[in-house]
A and B are shown apart, each in its own frame.
Chain A
Amino acid sequence: MNVKNYVRFEFQSLPENVAFARACVAAFAAQLDCTLDAIEEIKLVVSEAVSNSIIHGYGNRPNEKVVVAASIFDDRTLEIIVEDYGSGIKDVEKAIQPTFSSDPARMGLGFTFMKSFMDEMEILSKPGEGTSVRLKRSFFAKDKEAYA
Protein backbone atom coordinates (compact mmCIF):
# COMPACT_ATOMS: atom_id res chain seq x y z
CA MET A 1 0.00 0.00 0.00
CA ASN A 2 1.59 3.24 -1.17
CA VAL A 3 0.97 6.83 -0.21
CA LYS A 4 -0.63 8.62 -3.15
CA ASN A 5 -0.74 12.05 -1.57
CA TYR A 6 -0.25 13.60 1.85
CA VAL A 7 -0.46 16.89 3.71
CA ARG A 8 0.99 17.87 7.05
CA PHE A 9 0.43 21.12 8.90
CA GLU A 10 0.80 22.54 12.38
CA PHE A 11 -0.94 25.38 14.13
CA GLN A 12 -1.30 27.15 17.43
CA SER A 13 -3.66 25.56 19.98
CA LEU A 14 -6.41 28.16 19.52
CA PRO A 15 -10.17 27.43 19.20
CA GLU A 16 -10.17 29.54 16.02
CA ASN A 17 -7.94 26.93 14.36
CA VAL A 18 -10.29 23.97 14.86
CA ALA A 19 -12.44 25.07 11.89
CA PHE A 20 -9.30 25.64 9.84
CA ALA A 21 -8.01 22.12 10.57
CA ARG A 22 -11.26 20.33 9.72
CA ALA A 23 -11.78 22.40 6.54
CA CYS A 24 -8.22 21.59 5.37
CA VAL A 25 -8.57 17.85 5.93
CA ALA A 26 -12.04 17.85 4.33
CA ALA A 27 -10.68 19.65 1.25
CA PHE A 28 -7.83 17.14 1.06
CA ALA A 29 -10.20 14.16 1.47
CA ALA A 30 -12.41 15.49 -1.32
CA GLN A 31 -9.79 14.07 -3.70
CA LEU A 32 -11.19 10.66 -2.81
CA ASP A 33 -14.43 11.62 -4.53
CA CYS A 34 -16.38 10.34 -1.57
CA THR A 35 -19.93 11.28 -0.59
CA LEU A 36 -20.81 14.60 1.07
CA ASP A 37 -21.92 12.61 4.11
CA ALA A 38 -18.43 11.13 4.35
CA ILE A 39 -16.87 14.59 4.10
CA GLU A 40 -19.11 15.80 6.94
CA GLU A 41 -18.02 12.82 9.05
CA ILE A 42 -14.35 13.55 8.35
CA LYS A 43 -14.87 17.17 9.40
CA LEU A 44 -16.46 15.93 12.61
CA VAL A 45 -13.69 13.50 13.58
CA VAL A 46 -10.95 16.07 12.89
CA SER A 47 -12.87 18.61 14.94
CA GLU A 48 -13.11 16.15 17.82
CA ALA A 49 -9.45 15.14 17.77
CA VAL A 50 -8.17 18.73 17.50
CA SER A 51 -10.59 19.98 20.19
CA ASN A 52 -9.37 17.18 22.47
CA SER A 53 -5.77 18.32 21.97
CA ILE A 54 -6.62 21.93 22.79
CA ILE A 55 -9.01 21.29 25.67
CA HIS A 56 -7.59 18.17 27.31
CA GLY A 57 -4.02 17.97 26.00
CA TYR A 58 -3.19 21.62 26.62
CA GLY A 59 -5.89 22.63 29.12
CA ASN A 60 -6.85 25.48 26.74
CA ARG A 61 -3.34 26.99 26.81
CA PRO A 62 -3.12 28.98 23.56
CA ASN A 63 0.60 28.92 22.80
CA GLU A 64 1.07 25.22 22.16
CA LYS A 65 1.34 23.21 18.97
CA VAL A 66 -1.08 20.82 17.27
CA VAL A 67 0.09 18.80 14.26
CA VAL A 68 -2.28 17.30 11.70
CA ALA A 69 -1.19 14.93 8.95
CA ALA A 70 -3.43 13.30 6.38
CA SER A 71 -2.52 10.70 3.77
CA ILE A 72 -4.38 9.07 0.93
CA PHE A 73 -3.19 5.57 0.05
CA ASP A 74 -3.55 4.01 -3.37
CA ASP A 75 -6.28 1.66 -2.11
CA ARG A 76 -8.49 4.72 -1.36
CA THR A 77 -7.76 4.67 2.35
CA LEU A 78 -7.56 7.96 4.22
CA GLU A 79 -5.34 8.21 7.29
CA ILE A 80 -5.53 11.19 9.63
CA ILE A 81 -3.07 11.77 12.47
CA VAL A 82 -3.63 14.46 15.10
CA GLU A 83 -0.79 15.03 17.55
CA ASP A 84 -0.20 17.20 20.56
CA TYR A 85 2.62 17.48 23.07
CA GLY A 86 0.37 18.11 26.05
CA SER A 87 -0.56 16.31 29.23
CA GLY A 88 -1.36 12.93 27.65
CA ILE A 89 -4.05 10.50 28.71
CA LYS A 90 -3.51 8.43 31.86
CA ASP A 91 -6.01 5.71 31.04
CA VAL A 92 -6.76 5.46 27.32
CA GLU A 93 -9.24 2.58 27.78
CA LYS A 94 -11.29 4.69 30.18
CA ALA A 95 -11.06 7.82 28.02
CA ILE A 96 -12.56 6.11 24.99
CA GLN A 97 -15.63 4.85 26.86
CA PRO A 98 -18.83 6.52 25.57
CA THR A 99 -19.90 9.45 27.76
CA PHE A 100 -16.66 9.45 29.72
CA SER A 101 -15.43 13.00 30.15
CA SER A 102 -12.91 14.54 32.50
CA ASP A 103 -15.08 17.66 32.39
CA PRO A 104 -18.71 17.39 33.62
CA ALA A 105 -19.84 20.15 31.22
CA ARG A 106 -18.91 18.02 28.23
CA MET A 107 -20.61 14.98 26.77
CA GLY A 108 -17.61 12.72 26.31
CA LEU A 109 -18.62 11.80 22.78
CA GLY A 110 -15.43 12.79 20.97
CA PHE A 111 -13.81 9.35 20.82
CA THR A 112 -17.21 7.73 20.22
CA PHE A 113 -17.63 9.82 17.06
CA MET A 114 -14.08 9.00 15.95
CA LYS A 115 -14.63 5.28 16.51
CA SER A 116 -18.04 5.28 14.83
CA PHE A 117 -17.20 7.24 11.71
CA MET A 118 -13.78 5.77 11.02
CA ASP A 119 -12.75 2.16 10.42
CA GLU A 120 -9.73 2.25 12.72
CA MET A 121 -8.72 4.37 15.68
CA GLU A 122 -5.40 4.09 17.45
CA ILE A 123 -4.35 6.26 20.37
CA LEU A 124 -0.77 6.54 21.51
CA SER A 125 -0.43 8.59 24.64
CA LYS A 126 2.10 9.12 27.39
CA PRO A 127 1.27 11.21 30.44
CA GLY A 128 3.32 14.38 30.33
CA GLU A 129 4.45 13.85 26.74
CA GLY A 130 1.36 14.09 24.58
CA THR A 131 -1.12 12.19 22.50
CA SER A 132 -1.26 10.97 18.94
CA VAL A 133 -4.58 9.87 17.49
CA ARG A 134 -4.45 7.89 14.25
CA LEU A 135 -7.68 7.43 12.33
CA LYS A 136 -8.21 5.40 9.19
CA ARG A 137 -11.09 4.94 6.83
CA SER A 138 -11.31 3.03 3.64
CA PHE A 139 -13.57 4.67 1.10
CA PHE A 140 -13.67 1.77 -1.24
CA ALA A 141 -15.57 -0.40 1.25
CA LYS A 142 -17.90 2.30 2.61
CA ASP A 143 -18.87 3.81 -0.74
CA LYS A 144 -19.53 0.38 -2.17
CA GLU A 145 -21.87 -0.30 0.75
CA ALA A 146 -23.59 3.05 0.28
CA TYR A 147 -24.36 2.36 -3.36
CA ALA A 148 -25.14 -1.34 -2.95
Chain B
Amino acid sequence: MDLDLKLVRNTLVVKVQGELDMLIADKMRYEVDKKLEENNIKNLIINLEKVNFIDSSGLGVIIGRYKKISAVNGRMYIVGARPPVEKILHFSGINKLIPMYSSEQDIINI
Protein backbone atom coordinates (compact mmCIF):
# COMPACT_ATOMS: atom_id res chain seq x y z
CA MET B 1 0.00 0.00 0.00
CA ASP B 2 1.45 3.37 -0.96
CA LEU B 3 -0.60 5.26 1.64
CA ASP B 4 -0.73 4.73 5.38
CA LEU B 5 -3.07 6.83 7.53
CA LYS B 6 -2.80 6.82 11.30
CA LEU B 7 -4.79 8.85 13.79
CA VAL B 8 -2.93 10.02 16.91
CA ARG B 9 -5.40 11.90 19.14
CA ASN B 10 -6.54 14.78 16.92
CA THR B 11 -3.63 14.54 14.50
CA LEU B 12 -3.74 12.56 11.27
CA VAL B 13 -0.37 11.20 10.16
CA VAL B 14 -0.20 10.34 6.46
CA LYS B 15 2.74 8.27 5.25
CA VAL B 16 3.19 8.18 1.51
CA GLN B 17 5.39 5.75 -0.34
CA GLY B 18 6.74 5.78 -3.88
CA GLU B 19 6.09 8.46 -6.49
CA LEU B 20 3.59 11.15 -5.56
CA ASP B 21 2.09 11.85 -8.97
CA MET B 22 -1.54 12.08 -10.15
CA LEU B 23 -2.14 8.37 -9.49
CA ILE B 24 -1.29 8.50 -5.77
CA ALA B 25 -2.43 12.13 -5.42
CA ASP B 26 -6.03 11.25 -6.34
CA LYS B 27 -6.02 8.34 -3.90
CA MET B 28 -4.46 10.49 -1.18
CA ARG B 29 -6.98 13.30 -1.68
CA TYR B 30 -9.87 10.85 -1.35
CA GLU B 31 -8.50 8.92 1.67
CA VAL B 32 -7.35 11.98 3.62
CA ASP B 33 -10.57 13.92 3.00
CA LYS B 34 -12.62 10.89 4.11
CA LYS B 35 -10.70 10.75 7.40
CA LEU B 36 -10.93 14.52 7.87
CA GLU B 37 -14.72 14.34 7.51
CA GLU B 38 -15.19 11.27 9.72
CA ASN B 39 -13.06 12.39 12.63
CA ASN B 40 -12.51 15.51 14.60
CA ILE B 41 -9.05 16.11 13.17
CA LYS B 42 -7.24 19.31 13.87
CA ASN B 43 -3.69 18.67 12.67
CA LEU B 44 -2.14 16.92 9.73
CA ILE B 45 1.35 15.51 9.29
CA ILE B 46 2.44 14.43 5.81
CA ASN B 47 5.40 12.07 6.01
CA LEU B 48 7.35 12.02 2.74
CA GLU B 49 10.31 9.93 3.97
CA LYS B 50 9.59 7.19 1.45
CA VAL B 51 8.66 9.43 -1.46
CA ASN B 52 11.25 9.61 -4.22
CA PHE B 53 9.34 11.76 -6.70
CA ILE B 54 6.74 14.52 -6.54
CA ASP B 55 5.14 16.61 -9.29
CA SER B 56 2.51 19.35 -9.33
CA SER B 57 -0.31 16.81 -8.80
CA GLY B 58 1.37 15.83 -5.52
CA LEU B 59 1.95 19.46 -4.58
CA GLY B 60 -1.71 20.18 -5.39
CA VAL B 61 -3.02 17.55 -2.98
CA ILE B 62 -0.75 18.86 -0.21
CA ILE B 63 -1.77 22.49 -0.72
CA GLY B 64 -5.45 21.51 -0.93
CA ARG B 65 -5.25 19.72 2.46
CA TYR B 66 -3.38 22.73 3.87
CA LYS B 67 -6.33 24.95 2.92
CA LYS B 68 -8.74 22.57 4.67
CA ILE B 69 -6.66 22.31 7.84
CA SER B 70 -6.12 26.08 7.93
CA ALA B 71 -9.87 26.62 7.63
CA VAL B 72 -10.35 24.82 10.98
CA ASN B 73 -7.35 26.61 12.51
CA GLY B 74 -5.36 23.39 12.58
CA ARG B 75 -1.67 22.89 11.95
CA MET B 76 0.01 21.06 9.18
CA TYR B 77 3.58 19.80 8.83
CA ILE B 78 5.64 18.03 6.21
CA VAL B 79 8.30 15.63 7.47
CA GLY B 80 11.16 13.65 6.02
CA ALA B 81 11.29 15.11 2.51
CA ARG B 82 14.43 13.80 0.79
CA PRO B 83 16.61 16.11 -1.36
CA PRO B 84 14.93 15.68 -4.79
CA VAL B 85 11.47 16.08 -3.25
CA GLU B 86 12.60 18.86 -0.95
CA LYS B 87 13.95 20.78 -3.96
CA ILE B 88 10.50 20.74 -5.61
CA LEU B 89 8.74 21.71 -2.36
CA HIS B 90 11.08 24.70 -2.06
CA PHE B 91 10.69 25.59 -5.73
CA SER B 92 6.91 25.68 -5.34
CA GLY B 93 7.10 27.83 -2.20
CA ILE B 94 5.09 25.29 -0.16
CA ASN B 95 7.81 25.38 2.52
CA LYS B 96 6.84 29.01 3.23
CA LEU B 97 3.30 27.92 4.08
CA ILE B 98 3.85 24.53 5.68
CA PRO B 99 6.70 23.99 8.16
CA MET B 100 9.05 21.18 7.15
CA TYR B 101 10.88 18.93 9.60
CA SER B 102 13.25 16.04 9.14
CA SER B 103 11.28 13.59 11.30
CA GLU B 104 8.00 13.19 13.20
CA GLN B 105 10.03 13.22 16.42
CA ASP B 106 11.14 16.79 15.63
CA ILE B 107 7.51 17.95 15.69
CA ILE B 108 6.86 16.26 19.03
CA ASN B 109 9.93 18.03 20.41
CA ILE B 110 8.87 21.55 19.40
Question: What is the interface of chain A, defined by CB distance below 8 A to chain B?
Answer: 15-16, 18-19, 37, 40, 43-44, 47-48, 51, 54-55, 105-110, 113, 116
Given contacts A44-B55, A55-B57, A113-B55, 16 further A-B contacts (CB under 8 A): A15-B21, A15-B22, A15-B23, A18-B21, A18-B22, A18-B23, A19-B21, A40-B84, A47-B53, A54-B22, A105-B60, A106-B57, A106-B60, A107-B56, A107-B92, A110-B56
Q: List the A residue with the shortest CB-CB distance to B52.
A: A40
**Min distance, Cβ A34 to any Cβ of chain B, angstroms:** 15
Q: How large is the interface on B (under 10, 10 to 19, 20 to 34, 35 or more residues)?
A: 10 to 19
Leading 6 A-B pairs by shortest Cβ distance: A15-B23, A47-B55, A106-B60, A109-B56, A15-B22, A107-B60
Residues 48 to 100 of chain B near chain A (Cβ within 8 Å): 53, 55-57, 59-60, 63-64, 84, 87-88, 91-92
Instruction: Report the number of A-B residue pairs with Cβ-Cβ less than 8 Å.
Output: 54
B4 on the interface (CB 8 Å rule)?
no
Enumerate chain A residues within 8 angstroms of B104, measured Cβ to Cβ: none
Contact between A19 and B23 (Cβ–Cβ < 8 Å)?
A: yes
**24 interchain pairs, CB-CB under 8 A:** A15-B21, A15-B22, A15-B26, A16-B23, A19-B19, A37-B84, A40-B84, A40-B87, A44-B53, A44-B55, A48-B55, A48-B56, A51-B21, A105-B29, A105-B60, A105-B64, A106-B56, A107-B59, A107-B60, A107-B63, A108-B56, A109-B92, A110-B56, A116-B91
